[in-house]
Structure 1
Amino acid sequence: MKKHFLTLGILSVALILGGASCTKTTTPPAPVTTNTPPTATVNSNANTTQPTTNTTVPTNFLTYNNDAEGVSIDYPSDWTKQDGKSPILVQFFSPLQSSVDQFQENVSVMIQDFSSVGMTLEQFNKQTTDALGQYMTNLKITKQEDMEISGEPGKLLIYTGTMPGQTTPNTTIQAYTVWDDYVYIVTFTGKQGDFEKFVPAVQQMVKSFSF
């Protein structure tokens, strides 16, 4: 029974993440600048792997702080911030790239409480990939590696697939960790063809994420 509830919880996370990647046709509210720098880094040792690209890393970042949740993360200054609905804490949207562009690449930060069932990183990792396979069509996991997030063991997951109600696949980067029965997830969703140019910014966002 415990495993049953755990699976339902992970599937709900997959459903929420799918909703976070939908096409945007309106621009969210303007970003709010804060002055408190992030305190965490992702270790760059031999066991910590990040997606790589030749695109230049943006230099201007703002910092989002949520004192109630104890979370902070950097985001590009030309992206817009939108408060999320639990368990999504906040989302950040890239600018539209042209007058015909209808998809804003986005990064979401999610916090999910699994204290009622108990949770380990390995459990969450396995159940997440299983749930994504049930939820998305043409799912292809291209990278799955260990990393550190805010000083805690975490996972990096990169995959492509088509969400329900959509006709074209998207590419997603997820970095997640489990701490004190809470799951912390940073998710980037991009359109194929434009994905690579946003990877450096996403790397910086994940590196700055602190809780």
Structure 2
Amino acid sequence: MKALRIILIAALSFVFIGAGIVWQKYTNKEYGFSILLPRYWYKEEGRYNTAVMALAPQTDTKDKFRENISVMVSYAPSDMKAETYYAISKDEVMKTIPGEEFGIQEGKIVAGLHTGRLLTFSSQAEGIIFRIITGTWVIKGRVYVVTGTSEDSEFYKYEPTFKKVLRSIRIQ
């Protein structure tokens, strides 16, 4: 009986303390998508030309950077294929970001019924090394780009959150 109580207490502790992030479904009717975002992150629509941006809570007053997730939606030329769009936009991103990119990884990611392109890389700006993960989907003439950004040294903590968000996008 005592062993059962210990197991029950341990299980409940996991549920209440370490179970992880509480999620909130965000829906954007204008752009026709929904996505899961961490409930306790600060959310703002339209910031920096995004459909929505979520900022992690500041964990320390000495933090130089708040980890974030953003969703951008734009229109793709109607005759352009997804792979072509991805190649062009990747080149543009690499030209836009200051400094040299490193640790570049590419792949595919599935969210709902749609397969997109995954790009992860690091770059340095303003004395901070960032790690960026981005998923890109081209569907019905629209481009959906979901990005997670953190300090490179903190990426391992946020990568599971970023990947869950990327896989959660549902495009109508």
Fold match (TM-score > 0.5)? yes
Give the one of 125, 128, 131 matched to 1:171. 131
- Structure-2 separation of matches of 1:190 and 1:72: 23
- Structure-2 separation of matches of 1:192 and 1:130: 21
Partner of 1:70: 32
The answer to which of 103-112 and 71-80 deviates more is 71-80
Give the one of 110, 128, 141 matched to 1:148. 110
**Letter aligned with residue 157 of structure 1:** L
Q: 1:58 touches 1:76 (CA, 8 Å); kept in 2?
A: no
Work out whether 1:191 is the aligned partner of 2:145: no
Work out whether 1:124 is the aligned partner of 2:74: no
- Structure-1 separation of matches of 2:48 and 2:94: 24
Deviation at 1:85, TM superposition (A): 4.6
Work out whether 1:206 is the aligned partner of 2:155: no
Higher helix share: 2
Which segments of structure 1 move beyond 3 Å, counting only runs of 4 or more? none
Q: 1:63 touches 1:73 (CA, 8 Å); kept in 2?
A: yes
TM superposition score normalised by structure 1: 0.66
Partner of 1:12: none
Give the one of 44, 68, 79 matched to 1:82. 44
- Structure-2 separation of matches of 1:156 and 1:118: 22
User: Are the structure 2 counterparts of residues 135 and 141 from structure 1 closer, same or farther at C-alpha, using a change threshold of 3 Å?
Assistant: farther
Q: 2:109 touches 2:167 (CA, 8 Å); kept in 1?
A: no
**Structure 2 matches for 1:92-103, cutoff 5 A?**
92-103=54-65
- Bigger radius of gyration: 2
Secondary structure, aligned partner of 1:101: coil
Segments of structure 1 that go 5 or more residues without pairing to the other structure are 1-55
Give the one of 23, 28, 36 matched to 1:61. 23
**Letter aligned with residue 120 of structure 1:** K
Secondary structure, aligned partner of 1:193: helix
- Structure-2 separation of matches of 1:97 and 1:146: 32
Cα RMSD over matched residues? 2.0
Deviation at 1:87, TM superposition (A): 4.5
User: Are the structure 2 counterparts of residues 111 and 103 from structure 1 closer, same or farther at C-alpha, using a change threshold of 3 Å?
Assistant: same
Work out whether 1:134 is the aligned partner of 2:109: no
Aligned residues: 153
- Structure-1 separation of matches of 2:103 and 2:76: 25
Identity %: 23
Segments of structure 2 that go 5 or more residues without pairing to the other structure are 1-17
User: Are the structure 2 counterparts of residues 160 and 86 from structure 1 closer, same or farther at C-alpha, using a change threshold of 3 Å?
Assistant: closer
Higher strand share: 2
